[in-house]
Amino acid sequence: MLTEGQKTQRRRVHVTLELPWSADRAIQQFGRTHRSNQTSAPQYRLLFTNLGGEKRFASIVAKRLESLGALTQGDRRAGPSLSAFNYDSTYGKRALTMVYRGIMEQDSFPVVPPRCSDNQASIEEFITEAKVALVSVGIIRDATVCNGKVAGKLSGRIVDADMHDVARFLNRLLGLAPDIQNRLFDLFISILDVVLHNARREGQLDSGIVDIKGKNIELKEPPKTVHVDSLSGASTILFTFTIDRGVTWESAKAMLDGRENDGAGSSNDGFYESKREWMGRRHFTLALEGSTEGIYKIIRPAIGEALREMPLSELKGKYRKVSSIDKVSKGWQDEYDVSSKQCMHGSKCKVGSYCTVGRRLQEFNILGGLILPVWGTIEKALAKQVYQNHKRIRVVRLVTTNDNQRIVGLFIPNAAVESVLTGLQWVQDIND
Ligand SMILES: [Zn+2]
C-alpha cells in the first residue's frame, strides 16, 4: 500500500481494455495515471483489435496524445481540431441518427454507402445486409420478414433511445463480422464528416480549442514556472495576459469617417447614447449597418464589437442618435477610461473583482508547457469552483497581436488561479 508522499518506485502501466468513445475522456483517464510521485513515466498500452472501429478510435486517441505531447515540447504549432474526433458528441449523435434512418429507409443516406455504386440496387443490397446485422446485435427490434408484395424484405424498429446512442452503436458493432462491421463504421464516419463539414461551414463547430482574440494582447508579467516534472525536467508554465477589448475614441471616429468617405454608410450610421441610465450612467455606442440591410453592428468603447448585431427598431428603441461630436467624444472617452478598472456593474458588483462584464482590460491565465502530469490536479482545483463554466477544463489557443506568439494551453479562470497553484505546489513538495 502506498501513502501519499511515498514515491512509487515501480513503473505504472495503464492498460485500457475498453476505450471511452470520446478522445477527451480517454485522455482524461490517462492523465489520472500520470502522476508526479513516480520515479518513471507511465506506459500507456492501448489494447484493441484489428477491426475497424476500435483500431481507428485508438489511432485518434494516439493523435490527441501526440498533440498534447507537442504542447509539452513547446511546439508552437497548434494541435488539430480535437473534439471533431469525438464520436460520442452532438455531431456523432446526429450522424448516427442519419445512419439509422437510412438503414430503416425513412430517409436517404447523405453519402453513398461504402463499396456501393450510385445505383439503387447496390444500396438496397447494403441496406438489407445492414438490417440483418443490426437485428443480430439487438439494435433493430421486433424484426419481421414481409411476405406480400416485397417478399423477403426485413422490417422492424429502432427504439428512440437507441437512435442517438453512439456508444451503444459502436460497442454493438464490435460484435459483428468484420466485413459488415467495417462498412457500417465507414458509413458512420463518412456521414459524420458531412455533418462536421456543414457545422464548420455554418461556424457552429466547437473545435475543442477556443481561440482567444483581442486587438491588444500582452503578457502582464514574465511567465511563471509553476511545476517541474521530476522525470523529464520539463516545466509547466503559467502565462498571465492582459487583453484590451476596447476601442479608443480616435479609432471609433475613424471607423465612422471611413464609412462616410466610402459612401458606403447608411443614414442611421453614427454615434448613439442609451436612453436609459444603466448602473448610474448612460452608455455610448457606434452603430454601423452590417451586411444585411437594417441590421447594425454595435461597437462599444469598453468591449469593442458586440457579438450580436442589432435590428434598427431595437437600436432606435434603446438609443438615441447624438449629433454633438463634443458630447460623444467626452462620453466615449469617459466610458473607455472607467472600464479599464471596473466591470459594468461598478463598485456594487456582486461577483466582485473577478467580474468581467463590460470590463475593457481583462486578465487571462493560460497554463502551458507540460500538462499531462498535472491534469488531475487542475481538474480537482477547477471542480471546486463556484461557477459552472469555471469547472470544465478548456483548451485555448491565444495569438498575441504584437509579436504573433501562439500559446496553446489550459484556460485557468482568474478565480481558480490560487487553488490551481496551491494544488501544483503540493504536487511539487511531495516530489522534491
Ligand atoms: Zn460585475
pLDDT digits (tens, 9 = 90+) for 409-421: 888 988 899 999 9
45 CA from centroid of ligand 1 (Å): 48
Phi and psi torsions of 53, nearest 5°:
-50, -60
47 pLDDT band, cuts 50/70/90, is low
Pairing label, strands 310-311, 295-300: antiparallel
Q: What is the mean pLDDT of residues 328-357?
A: 85
359 CA from centroid of ligand 1 (Å): 8
Which parts of 136-206 are beta strand (E)? 141-145, 154-157
354 CA from centroid of ligand 1 (Å): 8
Contacts of 109-113 with CB under 8 Å at 24 or more apart are: 109/187, 109/191, 110/191, 110/194, 111/187, 111/190, 111/191, 111/194, 113/183, 113/187
Report which of residues 100 and 265 the model is more confident about: 100
398 CA from centroid of ligand 1 (Å): 24
State the DSSP string of 186-233. HHHHHHHHHHHHHHHHTT----SEEEE--SEEEESS--EEEEE-TTT-
Contact residues for 186 (Cβ-Cβ < 8 A; gap 6+): 52, 114
Report which of residues 348 and 9 the model is more confident about: 348
Q: Are 389 and 356 in contact (CB under 8 A)?
A: no
pLDDT for res 251: 94
255 CA from centroid of ligand 1 (Å): 29
Q: Is pLDDT of 376 > 70?
A: yes
Q: Is pLDDT of 256 > 90?
A: yes
Domain ranges in the chain? 13-85, 90-201, 249-345
Q: Is pLDDT of 138 > 80?
A: yes
132 CA from centroid of ligand 1 (Å): 59
Tell me the pLDDT of the chain averaged across its residues.
Answer: 78
Kindly report the CA angle at 319 between 315 and 322, in degrees rounded to 5? 115
Q: What is the mean pLDDT of residues 18-38?
A: 55
364 CA from centroid of ligand 1 (Å): 16
Q: Are 336 and 248 in contact (CB under 8 A)?
A: yes
351 CA from centroid of ligand 1 (Å): 6
Q: Is pLDDT of 281 > 50?
A: yes
Residues 183, 269: Cα–Cα separation, whole Å: 57
346 CA from centroid of ligand 1 (Å): 7
pTM score above 0.75? no
H or E stretch at 274:
strand 270-274
Which of 125-129, 149-153, 222-226 has the lowest average pLDDT? 149-153
119 CA from centroid of ligand 1 (Å): 62
Q: What is the mean pLDDT of residues 195-208?
A: 64
pLDDT for res 69: 45
Q: Is pLDDT of 37 > 50?
A: no
What separation, in Å, do the N-terminal and C-terminal C-alpha atoms of the chain show?
21
409 CA from centroid of ligand 1 (Å): 27
77 pLDDT band, cuts 50/70/90, is very low
Residues 16, 36: Cα–Cα separation, whole Å: 20
251 CA from centroid of ligand 1 (Å): 26
Q: Are 419 and 384 in contact (CB under 8 A)?
A: yes
314 CA from centroid of ligand 1 (Å): 24
pLDDT for res 17: 47
421 CA from centroid of ligand 1 (Å): 25
Output the nine-digit C-alpha cell for 227: 511545476
387 CA from centroid of ligand 1 (Å): 14
353 CA from centroid of ligand 1 (Å): 8
pLDDT for res 317: 96
Q: Is pLDDT of 344 > 90?
A: no
Task: Render pLDDT for 304-336 as a digit per residue (tens, 0 to 9).
Answer: 888 788 999 999 999 999 989 999 999 999 999
Q: Are 96 and 164 in contact (CB under 8 A)?
A: yes
